[in-house]
Structure 1
Amino acid sequence: MRIWKENKHCILIKTPELFDFKTNLNYLRRDPNECMYEIEEDRITRVIEINHLRTLVRISEADSEYLAVEFLAGGKLESMEDKKAIVRYVEEWFDFETDLIPFYKMGSKDPLLEQAIERFYGLRIIGLHDLFEALCWGILGQQINLTFAYTLKRQFVEKFGETLEYEGKIYWIFPSFDKISGLSPEDMSDIKMTKKKREYIIGIAELMAKGDLTKEKLLYLDELKQAERELTQIRGIGPWTANYVLMRCLRYPDAFPIDDAGLINAIKLVTEMERKPTKEEIRELTSEWKNWESYATFYLWRMLY
């Protein structure tokens, strides 16, 4: 756990050296239809669920070395364990524990990455803490553009999620797998996703409600391919969705959605290639990325928006 301290009003968390808060905020602003947090005046406001608590927090840059986490509404953090859990949540969300020096050393000499690193220096892979949310987001985004995926997520969250209210505003909590596991596809029929996607999401919720699928079980596995196999055995989860979740939620550094349309378009953009590169060409172009595939992919995605 990183260095942190508290005062009367907030918790202060020391940031890593290679971290730029505004660069990460700009990533979080990428779609105005995002419903899980609000960004105003360079401050993020969102509900965080830890242990037995739901608390509304506001995260901002205290100075060049610390993020400030204010507590606005919801459950009060009284125990040291709860405060440490909030610190761990923020650290994981912004991936503070990864040392980016080796990535930047490799990427600054890589023709695909050098431009992205220069433009987005200090960017971290913004995580998805909750496994169910990560899997739902992966399924919602299958074979559609990002804008429509955000629309579907908002419809899903606003129909089945819960809320905290603060100063006349509503802040959303992602639907729980327990709640979704009790639904039928017809219960979700007014959300503009395919029936197959509705079935996939309910099926995943049922697995999680039974305890057959957990974040802890996946993190216990020894290697990426083993975790990928576990996920792709689940109906509705192919290699792309599995690697997306392995990257954003389970933090595998070598997760690599090689067939991702966004990755392919970013490679075309950077290389000024007019045709779609073959998988063999992608493997050759990315041969120096070993154990940095996730970060390299994330930075190239950022080139597109």
Structure 2
Amino acid sequence: MRTNRSGRQSKGVTFISQIYSGKPDAVWEDHGDRLRLLVPKEFSFAENMKYLSRSSNECLLRTSDQLLYKAIPLKSGEISVVEISADGSDALMVRFLGGTAPSRKQNREAVVCYVRDWFDLDTDLRPFYELAKGDALLREAVNSFYGLRNIGIPDLFEAMAWGIIGQQINLAFAYTLKRRLVERFGRSVDCEGERYLVFPSARDIADLTVQDLEEVRMTRKKSEYLLDTARLIASGELTKEGLQAAGGIMEAEKQLVSIRGIGPWTANYVLMRCLRMPDAFPVDDVGLHNAVKHVLGMDRKPAKKELLAWAEGWKKWESYATFYLWRVLY
């Protein structure tokens, strides 16, 4: 039977409407081995695929001809391997591969939540696009990459680990370090002739030592920061829910920077990519500085006070402004 938005049933697939974050457009259909997720008008799968395809050394997903493949770990311990594609302009199709479709409804809903969070589908971008029309720094980026979302990192440990790994090194080497960490300490699943990797959990890392991490060739300090963070999350002392309930961006940032090895840049990166705080702003980010220099044709990188002045017009949209400016560089 099929249930429409009014609650009546009609013949066809099961139609389940879930309201995430109070957004009525968060609707999905369950087709057994496929899930169909409705997306906002301000979403372009093609633009998001371009972003996700930017590194050939990305180990946690692969792309091919507008098809996206990823292993999604669930709290139950299951791993679902999915193929994601556009289904017209108003939906994504999530197809389970190799018999990895969860049988329990709550786990299928967890896959929906993961994909919606990953693509930030519950954020209404219309106010941001309206703001960007009159902004000299953002106008061209928004026109060029319309429909791009702030691609997230739903898992807190993965987000923090990626922030730690990326400190003071170029992006290419950061991907290499991530691959080494995932291949050595993460999980994997073989599905339809391909091997899919899953980022190690905080518990996977918490019991390791600096010596255990030597073979991935991170610096000793980064190894210590990674271990400290893993132990805080594995013990339940640091949680995504706790940061979300902190009371706002300043309080959440304060919690994060109290952790050894987590400075303002890493904290704001995590708040932006994992916690989805719209006013998270990694103002000291080198990529952001280079993007502004490029857009404005400057012969030098902007000073921090200049960036803060420009960002006055981005209130509550600093994270999206940053993400779109980063995109200019890829």
Cα offsets for 1:32-68 (capped at 9, x unmatched): 0000011112111111122312111111112111110
1:198 corresponds to which residue? Answer: 223
2:317 corresponds to which residue? Answer: 292
Cα distance in 2 between the residues matched to 1:185 and 1:178: 15
Number of matched pairs: 305
Unpaired runs of at least 5, structure 1: none
Amino acid at match of 2:309: E
Match of 2:280 among 255, 258, 263: 255
2:254 corresponds to which residue? Answer: 229
Amino acid at match of 1:77: P
2:160 corresponds to which residue? Answer: 135
Unpaired runs of at least 5, structure 2: 1-18, 20-25
The TM-score normalised by the length of structure 1 is 0.98
1:80 corresponds to which residue? Answer: 105
1:76 deviates by 3.6
2:135 corresponds to which residue? Answer: 110
The answer to whether the 8 A contact 2:33-2:101 is kept is no
Cα distance in 2 between the residues matched to 1:8 and 1:78: 9
Cα offsets for 1:163-192 (capped at 9, x unmatched): 010122110011111121111111111212
Cα distance in 1 between the residues matched to 2:101 and 2:291: 44
What is the DSSP-based 3-state SS (H/G/I as helix, E as strand, rest coil) of the residue aligned with 1:67? Answer: strand
Cα distance in 1 between the residues matched to 2:298 and 2:272: 26
Q: Cα–Cα, structure 1 residues 135 and 235, in superposed 2: closer, same or farther, change >3 Å?
A: same
1:95 partnered with 2:108: no
Amino acid at match of 2:52: L
1:8 deviates by 4.0
Instruction: Tell me which of the two structures has the higher relative contact order, counting C-alpha pairs closer than 8 angstroms and 6 or more residues apart.
Output: 1
The answer to whether the 8 A contact 2:116-2:122 is kept is yes
The answer to whether the 8 A contact 1:92-1:127 is kept is yes
Name which of structure 1's ranges 281-290 and 143-152 shifts more when overlaid on structure 2.
281-290
Q: Which runs of 4+ in 1 moved over 6 A?
A: none
1:4 corresponds to which residue? Answer: 28
Match of 2:266 among 235, 241, 257: 241
Amino acid at match of 1:23: E
What is the DSSP-based 3-state SS (H/G/I as helix, E as strand, rest coil) of the residue aligned with 1:286? Answer: helix
What is the DSSP-based 3-state SS (H/G/I as helix, E as strand, rest coil) of the residue aligned with 2:314? Answer: coil
Cα offsets for 1:279-303 (capped at 9, x unmatched): 1111112210000000000000000
Q: CA RMSD in A?
A: 1.1
1:32 partnered with 2:56: yes
Q: Cα–Cα, structure 1 residues 135 and 41, in superposed 2: closer, same or farther, change >3 Å?
A: same
Amino acid at match of 1:45: Y
